[in-house]
Amino acid sequence: MEGQSVEELLAKAERDEADKLQRITVHKELELEFDLGNLLALDRNPPTGLRRGEPTPEAELRALARDNTQLLINQLWQLPTERVEEALVARLPEPTTRLPREKPVPRPRPLTRWQQFARLKGIRPKKKTNLVWDEVSGQWRRRWGYQRARDDTKEWLIEVPGSADPLEDQFAKRIQAKKERVAKNELNRLRNLARAHKMRLPSSAGMHPTGHQSKQELGRALQVAKVSTASVGRFQERLPKEKAPRGSGKKRKFQPLFGDFAAEKKSQLEMLRVMNSKKPQLDVTRATNKQMREEDQEEAAKRRKMSQKGKRKGGRQGPGGRRKGGPPNQGGKRKGGLGGKMNSGPPGLGGKRKGGQHQGGKKRK
């Protein structure tokens, strides 16, 4: 029994080794198309196992994916290899399949003013090391940022310059100077973005440094200058026939959150009374003004319509000036017909004629 069991174990090990070798080599009727640059394998063989309608399609799909992946890995092992930091890597070729992009290709970033100036003058950027020697601490520290070398913000004593005010706070002055530098850098960044998007940034007063300002820009600048006083332009004198600036009306005043509880109770009760009342509250003045406005609009529309009818009845004048002959009512002077001067023919409706009486025109005695 022991000898048979050993033989069975050896046979099982041989079968397992053969299965492993079979798994490495996969046979396909049609060779797969590989795009090793994109790690892509295209299988054109029909899935025969799925067509037969076997009860386990998941197992067939899993086996098909394993075989195709094995063929792709076999192709990768045939590529040239190199060692990078104790790791064996394969050099992939250029991809041949063009994959679609979700978004368009990004445009190159436009140059800033300094980059344009440096390119014009031929200035090349100099690379600086990130670490510098700090003599105060005796260590290598970063050039910028947190725990940088020669950090003046950590000083507990600042020497007052001879030309400065002895009572001036030098620490607050240093903090203010840093805030101004940060604000200036942010302003330059926004200007670069506006220049890249071809936008025009006006100043706070709405004026451009070009010298060609429109009427709206001048009016906006005048309004900003008037409200730039301590009284927000309340006591500023106005020019003759100057309109009141917009936004100068009364501001809404809200009641305090706590205080007069009696007034708050009264307002709440009044609101409940209005909400519970079935009759709607009518503003007589507003309704009257609305009715008068509608009547005025109707009268204006009627007058406009009557004036258009009168213009149509007056006849049409042709594009030409004085002309002889032609159809009547075409403008200009002509002999005969219904319009202009008439020397003969039946009496017309307008114009001058010799003898007789007609509608419109002068009567000859």
Is the pLDDT reported for residue 350 higher than 60? no
Look at residue 43 and tell me whether its pLDDT is greater than 70. yes
pLDDT at 177: 92
Task: Give percent of the chain above pLDDT 90.
Answer: 20
Of the listed ranges 2-6, 110-114, 243-247, the one predicted with least confidence: 2-6
Q: What Å distances lie between residue 102 and 35, 106, 342, CA to CA?
A: 21, 12, 81
The pLDDT mean for the chain works out to: 78
pLDDT for 251 equals 67
Q: Please give the residue that has the higher pLDDT: either 252 or 12.
A: 12
Give me the percent of the chain exceeding a pLDDT of 70. Answer: 75
Q: How far apart, in whole angstroms, are the C-alpha atoms of residue 222 and residue 236?
A: 12
pLDDT at 47: 78
At residue 291, the pLDDT reads: 92
pLDDT of residue 296: 94
Supply the pLDDT for residue 27.
81
- Residue 211 has what pLDDT? 59
Residues 306-314: what's their mean pLDDT? 78
Q: What is the mean pLDDT of residues 65-91?
A: 89
Indicate if the pLDDT at residue 112 is higher than 50. yes
Compute the distance between CA of residue 352 and CA of residue 334 in angstroms, rounded to an integer: 12
Structure confidence at residue 335 (pLDDT): 46
- In terms of average pLDDT, the best of 13-22, 34-43, 343-352 is 34-43
Mean of the pLDDT values across residues 203-230? Answer: 72
- Using one digit for the tens of pLDDT, what is the confidence trace for 270-288? 988 888 877 766 778 888 9
- Res 355 pLDDT > 60: no
Secondary structure in 3-state letters for the chain? CHHHHHHHHHHHHHHHHHHHHHHHCCCCCCCCEEECCCCEEECCCCCHHHHCCCCCHHHHHHHHHHHHHHHHHHHHCCCCEEECCCCEEECCCCCCCCCCCCCCCCCCCCCCHHHHHHHHHCCCCCCCCCEEEECCCCEEEECCCCCECCCHHHCCCCCCCCCCCCCCCHHHHHHHHHHHHHHHHHHHHHHHHHHHCCCCCCCCCCCCCCCCCCHHHHHHHHHHHHCCCCCCCCCCCCCCCCCCCCCCCCCCCCCCCCCCHHHHHHHHHHHHHHHHCCCCCCCHHHHHHHHHHHHHHHHHHHHHHHHHHHHHHCCCCCCCCCCCCCCCCCCCCCCCCCCCCECCCCCCCCCCECCCCCCCCCCCC
Question: Among the ranges 246-250, 264-268, 356-360, which has the highest mean pLDDT value?
Answer: 264-268
- Among residues 156, 174, 155, the alpha carbon closest in space to that of 164 is found at 174
Q: What is the pLDDT of residue 348?
A: 42
Report how far residue 169's alpha carbon sits from residue 163's, in angstroms, rounded to the nearest whole number.
14
**pTM for the structure as a whole:** 0.31
Q: What is the pLDDT of residue 290?
A: 92
Of 355 and 114, the one with more pLDDT: 114
Least confident of 98-112, 288-302, 329-343: 329-343
Query: pLDDT tens digits, residue range 333-345?
Result: 444 444 444 444 4
